[in-house]
Structure 1
């Protein structure tokens, strides 16, 4: 990788950052990220990064979304003022992405707001994974590489889930993702139409497609409270599915999600490690993890050397 690259991280997901450094055969850069006594974020870069290609690995995820975002922004400001050649934010889980449009009166567009903050902080490029909506890339005036978890999910399905399968999209917005996976697996496709009262609360579900006597695989970008996921699982079982698996990129798992999963008929919830969840996985044997550290490390390596990133996914797109 050479001596002109530096990997730094905040406190959001140090385990993932360490795995990426191991994959790249690089030592973690020296940065002290903490808090002042009044709660403000404190950052100090403890080594020279002048004229270097610097990568900040920092998902803006729970349980401290705001702290993680501020750490990223303040680290970027410190790195810019230390005369780095280029700053790339590696944000495996991009927070505030669910409000990506003004769908009702007086609503904010937080995806655009965070994009503005990132650019103002001096970041030159963003690497992220499975954005909640593809149009968020257009909120930026800097390059954004949106990586995909589909290759790892497809490998997991082929290796670990036997039987006649049907891929299920939990809503209309996820049909493209589900269709890509169903085509690669030569499996049938079904769609769940959800009617929402408000965020995280579904008033009704309608299944389009046949799941009878098949293994149903729900694919989505995010599992938050898991309320709608569990409801979808119970509906699929009632429609004749033999087993139900859920394969999700970002395991937010907030609130009573773990308790809901333990009580549900779901066979497995397969999530990547874009968000730290070891404590929750210890409480629920249904949670299985796909490690995406190598994908992020390879994206960093290719970016540093000016190579194509899209070819990473040419076999699965």
Structure 2
């Protein structure tokens, strides 16, 4: 049985359609004081339940709704509950950078477990070690095959260079480079520790002169990093710059920055809904529903999820 929260029902509907099932009829309300109520309107006893919820802003509200749905399923005697969170909430808070800080990604995993989840499914976790935070099976899916297929079909990869926007994404860029058989470049930047969401771009390490540069990242939030990186690549002689990222958070100034940027195209997936009122003509959104549906089908049939996806584990 496939259940959906209210954050992004269109994705859940597409997944359910591909699986040939209907979403479980659900009554969900937000009371005047902002408390959430959920009731499933058909029996889930003994069922293998998949709870799909996107986590756009306000993240806390949609996370709480998903936890309440899991609790409702557990108390209604569901046989197994799998959390499907394409964009893992609090995934960037995966370690302590300074004293007296939380590790919120671990807390979220504990909340899922306490609510009653048996299994977790997510796409492109910000840090792979988050898989170890959840006490149970974790299906870590990758958007790379979906994004790379689109790039291969629409661009000449013989003149392409994959670019990591910072040192932290080199592993991702390396996987892209293997997938497309292209050279790799890195942008070395320094971040001001006193200013959140502000970065300073430094040097480009690698040959980008006269090349089509593909900047790769796991998410685009305020788009500051990636837009500054695009400018740097242009300054270093790139012929064209495109971007590929899994999660389109697109907070605050992101739409304006992308529209004013040097990008020819920005390719993302629908792990998150594009926020209302956001209009970025150069944005291309690819669907992750087929990948999620395949993974759900494999889990339901007790098959191998790893064998389905290139690089997923």
Normalising by the smaller structure, the TM-score range is: over 0.9
Correspondent of 1:210 among 200, 207, 212: 207
Kept after mapping to 1: 8 A contact 2:25/2:42: yes
Q: CA deviation at 1:315?
A: 7.5
- In structure 1, stretches of 5+ residues that fail to align are 1-5
Alpha-carbon distance, 1:161 to partner: 1.8
Query: Deviations 1:121-148 (Å, cap 9, x if unpaired)?
Result: 0000001000000001111111111100
Offset of 1:271 from its aligned partner? 0.4
Question: Is 1:26–2:21 an aligned residue pair?
Answer: yes
Q: Do residues 98 (structure 1) and 95 (structure 2) align?
A: no
- SS for the counterpart of 1:26 is coil
SS at match of 1:70: helix
Q: SS at the partner of 1:99? A: coil
Deviation at 1:280, TM superposition (A): 5.3
The whole-number CA distance in structure 1 between the counterparts of 2:138 and 2:258 is 34
TM-score, length basis structure 1: 0.95
Tell me, yes or no, if the aligned pair for 1:150 and 1:316 is still in contact at 8 Å: no
Does structure 1 residue 266 correspond to structure 2 residue 260?
A: no
- Say whether residues 1:137 and 2:131 are aligned partners: yes
Q: How many residues align?
A: 310
Contact 2:247 2:268 in 1 (8 A): yes
Aligned to 1:148: 142
Aligned-pair distance for 1:7?
Answer: 0.5
The answer to whether 1:116 aligns with 2:113 is no
Q: Taking structure 2 as the reference length, what is the TM-score of the superposition? A: 0.96
| 3-state SS of 1:222 partner | strand
Task: Give the Cα separation in 2 of the matches to 1:89 and 1:26.
Answer: 18
Question: Would the alpha carbon gap of residues 278 and 103 (structure 1) be closer, same or farther in structure 2, given more than 3 Å must change?
Answer: closer
Deviation at 1:313, TM superposition (A): 1.9
Q: Take 1:121 and 1:278, find their aligned partners in 2: how far apart are those partners?
A: 28
Checking the alignment, whether the CA contact within 8 Å between 2:306 and 2:312 is kept in structure 1 is no
SS of the residue corresponding to residue 10 of structure 2 reads helix
Map of 2:72 onto structure 1: 78
SS in 1 for 2:263: coil
- 1:3 equivalent in structure 2: none
Whether the 8 Å CA contact 1:130–1:149 is kept in 2: the answer is yes
Following superposition of structure 1 onto structure 2, how do residues 22-61 of structure 1 map, counting pairs within 5 Å?
Answer: 22-59=17-54, 61=55
Structure 2: runs of 5+ lacking an equivalent = none
Identify the residue that residue 305 of structure 2 maps to in structure 1.
Answer: 309
- Determine the C-alpha separation between the residues in 2 that align with 1:34 and 1:268: 39
Give the Cα separation in 2 of the matches to 1:50 and 1:89. 17
Q: How does 1:228-267 map to 2 (within 5 A)?
A: 228-267=225-264
Contact 1:100 1:110 in 2 (8 A): yes
Contact 1:53 1:87 in 2 (8 A): yes
Cα 1:316–1:209, aligned 2, differ >3 Å: closer, same or farther? farther
CA contact under 8 A between 1:151 and 1:316: conserved in structure 2? Answer: no
The answer to whether residue 172 in structure 2 is matched with residue 165 in structure 1 is no
- After superposition, what is the alpha-carbon deviation per residue over 1:279-309, rounded to whole angstroms, capped at 9, x for unaligned? 456x111110111100000000000000001
Please report how far the alpha carbon of residue 199 of structure 1 lies from its aligned counterpart in structure 2 after TM superposition. 3.1
